[in-house]
Structure 1
Amino acid sequence: MTISITLFVILAVFIIPLSLDKERTIIDTIIVLSLCVLSIGFILWSAFSIKYVFYQDHLFVKGGLFRSRIPYEEITRILTTKEIFTGYRLLSSKDGIEIYYKSSSLGSVKISPKDIEIFISEIKKRCPNVHFDK
């Protein structure tokens, strides 16, 4: 739902001014439509390419251009979250978890695995000393 609203707003921001400009040239139209397509494409790519992969020594989190390699020994705390509008987030739903780790420039990353319970049990296997909050 959030992605749909975002895409609609982006479309409106680009198309409405373009349609109201009576003096626009074909070059103006091409540039504006190109920027619109690139913006929408970037959001869709970021939203639909999200994946989380457990490697032997780290968790790999990826969404579009954004990626994090989180060594298991650096994970300090994991908590469930419904706050999707703040912080560094690579999630596709409002129900997710926040992983705090030492080398994070922003302190944590918010993710939304399909099955949170299976994801947390896998983290527990790989990070037995991590603190969990519900």
Structure 2
Amino acid sequence: MEHERFWSKRDIWYEILVLFAISTASAAVLMVPEEERLVVILLTLPVWAFMASLWFFTWYELKEDHLYARSGPFVERIPYDRIRSIRESRNMWSSMALSRDRIEIRQHDKGFVTGTTYISPLDKQRFMELLKSRCNNLQE
């Protein structure tokens, strides 16, 4: 079984949020006196790094026996046998998605909060077809 990577779809609102966070952090660096600039750079560097990691490192891979979801520094591995349902969603819950055009994945034996993952693959329909074909315990 091949491993295929699907990049996250990105909504314009998310692009604006990332640019705003980076611009605000950059403006803070430029607004302080020069002798304090190094301290401000060191304080804002984590903001830049975090936002850049979300932007450049959000993807989903269909591995041999599990779905691997990565969003910046956050990683989740969901075994196919634990997946209970897969459906389209447009909610705004905190997630590993960069778009409102999402897929909701629910797991067996877990509650709503800890057992629900939202992702937003660019090719959503193809991703859903491939994921469903690997999940033997769907209850849809």
TM range (shorter): 0.7 to 0.9
- Percent identical residues: 28
From 96, 100, 115, the equivalent of 2:102 is 96
Q: Residues 34 and 128 from structure 1, CA distance in 2 versus in 1: closer, same or farther, beyond 3 angstroms?
A: same
**Partner of residue 19, structure 2:** 7
Partner Cα separation in structure 2 for residue 49 and residue 17 of structure 1: 25
Partner Cα separation in structure 1 for residue 128 and residue 118 of structure 2: 13
Which has the larger Rg?
1
Amino acid at match of 2:100: K
Say what the alpha-carbon RMSD is for the aligned residues: 2.5
The structure showing larger relative contact order (alpha-carbon pairs under 8 Å, at least 6 residues apart) is: 2
Q: Residues 52 and 17 from structure 1, CA distance in 2 versus in 1: closer, same or farther, beyond 3 angstroms?
A: closer
Partner Cα separation in structure 1 for residue 115 and residue 20 of structure 2: 32
TM-score scaled by structure 1? 0.76
Which segment is superposed worse, 97-106 or 40-49? 97-106
Q: Residues 14 and 58 from structure 1, CA distance in 2 versus in 1: closer, same or farther, beyond 3 angstroms?
A: same
> In the TM superposition, what is the alpha-carbon distance from 1:111 to its structure 2 partner?
0.5
Partner Cα separation in structure 1 for residue 91 and residue 54 of structure 2: 18
TM-score scaled by structure 2? 0.74
Aligned length: 126
Q: Which runs of 5+ in 1 are unaligned?
A: none
Partner Cα separation in structure 1 for residue 89 and residue 137 of structure 2: 20
